[in-house]
């Protein structure tokens, strides 16, 4: 354990590309500062829609080889962010992309949505006890926007944090470990509103423009506890997003998903800290953290 870097950050995401869109600047910043950054991705995103026509043959309803292709995109994105430690929950291909809510793929035997939460969490407990992160980042209970794999990633991450700290739970998985801080990905509504207003005013000629409701994790300002200024890493973030070429087309400072609706790239990334809960003082004085490791001793 003495060989672990002093500060350690673990992120749990549903599909390759979610990490770069939500946390790319945060990941690049902390990796550059010598923090051990570990990404656990729960599925390969096999059901994703494919943007480049030349790669359409990879789709789930054709060759069904999008998963391994997206694993390679993820590896390229992690190079851009300087993140060396990225893993798939339970190993590559253990859990499959469940598709959008209500899709028949939700019910596949191997769909992540179909997985038993404690069983899926057990794979994450092994990572938590090995990497021993002080800080955990995942989605809110709605998964940011209601995608089954995002909801499940939230459940699995929160449950694994509990189990990892429980001394009687699977001692064979390593010494118990309690994360000190847990964050959910957020975007403050006024920030999203302003960015979309700017996008509409500039009208760069995209086929269409998304709306604030298309952005995961948008909440009112009072939920925001933490703001990470990643402007120095905006280039790394967009480079990582660009590496997910089947899913994202980047036109800085905007990007489009397969729905061809433009959205802003956020270089400042926002979080809601749920552990420890926001203090009264923080709420009253509207104090925001500017560092995920604030208050952690020996970090
Ligand atoms: Zn996703």
Separation of alpha carbons 137 and 184, rounded Å: 6
CATH number, domain of 215, equals: 3.40.50.10320
140 Cα: distance to centroid of ligand 1 (angstroms): 13
The neighbourhood of ligand 1, an ion, using CB within 5 A, equals 14-15, 18
73 Cα: distance to centroid of ligand 1 (angstroms): 14
DSSP track, 96-160 = B---STT-GGGGSTTBGGGS-HHHHHHHHHHHHHHH--SEEEE--TTTTT--HHHHHHHHHHHHH
Tell me what the pLDDT averaged over the chain comes to.
Answer: 96
Separation of alpha carbons 100 and 104, rounded Å: 9
Per DSSP (E only), the strands in the chain are 8-13, 36-41, 85-88, 135-138, 181-188, 208-209, 218-219, 226-229, 249-251, 254-256, 261-264, 268-275
Q: Which pairing describes strands 261-264 and 254-256: parallel, antiparallel, or unpaired?
A: antiparallel
239 Cα: distance to centroid of ligand 1 (angstroms): 18
In a domain, 292, yes or no: no
In a domain, 73, yes or no: yes
pLDDT above 70 covers a percentage of the chain that reads: 99
C-alpha of 163 from chain center:
21
Q: Residues comprising the binding site? A: 15, 18, 150
Separation of alpha carbons 242 and 51, rounded Å: 12
Q: Residues comprising the binding site for Zn(2+)? A: 15, 18, 150
In a domain, 3, yes or no: no
17 Cα: distance to centroid of ligand 1 (angstroms): 7
**Cα torsion through 239, 32, 217, 222, rounded to 10:** -140
In tens, the pLDDT along 204-238 reads: 999 999 999 999 999 999 999 999 999 999 999 99
Q: How many domains does the chain have?
A: 1
In a domain, 299, yes or no: no
In a domain, 295, yes or no: no
In tens, the pLDDT along 236-263 reads: 999 999 999 999 999 999 999 999 999 9
Separation of alpha carbons 236 and 44, rounded Å: 22
199 Cα: distance to centroid of ligand 1 (angstroms): 23
In a domain, 264, yes or no: yes
18 Cα: distance to centroid of ligand 1 (angstroms): 5
DSSP 289: B
User: What is the extent of the structural domain holding 164?
Assistant: 8-283
For residues 257 and 208, the answer to whether their CB atoms sit within 8 Å is no
In tens, the pLDDT along 152-202 reads: 999 999 999 999 999 999 999 999 999 999 999 999 999 999 999 999 999
């Amino acid at each position: 354990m003495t060989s672990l870097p002093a500060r350690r950050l673990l992120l749990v995401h549903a599909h390759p590309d979610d990490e770069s869109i939500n946390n790319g600047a945060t990941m690049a910043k902390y990796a550059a500062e010598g923090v051990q950054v570990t990404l656990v991705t729960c599925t390969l995103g096999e059901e994703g829609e494919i943007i480049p026509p030349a790669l359409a043959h990879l789709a789930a309803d054709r060759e069904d080889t999008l998963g391994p292709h997206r694993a390679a995109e993820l590896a390229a994105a992690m190079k851009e962010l300087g993140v060396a430690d990225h893993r798939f929950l339970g190993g590559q291909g253990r859990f499959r992309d469940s598709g959008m809510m209500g899709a028949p793929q939700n019910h596949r035997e191997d769909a992540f949505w179909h997985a038993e939460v404690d069983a899926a969490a057990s794979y994450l407990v092994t990572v938590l006890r090995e990497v021993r992160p002080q800080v955990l980042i995942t989605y809110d209970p709605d998964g940011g926007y209601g995608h089954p794999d995002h909801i499940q990633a939230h459940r699995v991450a929160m449950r694994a944090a509990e189990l990892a700290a429980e001394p009687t739970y699977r001692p064979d998985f390593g010494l118990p470990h309690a994360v000190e801080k847990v964050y959910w990905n957020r975007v403050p509504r006024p920030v999203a509103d302003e960015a979309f207003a700017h996008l509409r005013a500039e009208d760069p000629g995209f086929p269409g423009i998304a709306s604030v409701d298309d952005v995961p994790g948008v909440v009112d300002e009072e939920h925001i506890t933490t703001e990470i200024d990643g402007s120095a890493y905006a280039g790394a973030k967009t480079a990582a997003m660009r590496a997910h070429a089947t899913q994202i087309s980047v036109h800085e400072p905007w990007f489009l998903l397969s729905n061809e609706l433009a959205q802003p790239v956020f270089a400042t990334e926002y979080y809601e800290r749920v552990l420890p809960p926001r203090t009264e003082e923080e709420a009253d004085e509207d104090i925001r953290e500017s560092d995920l490791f604030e208050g952690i001793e020996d970090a």
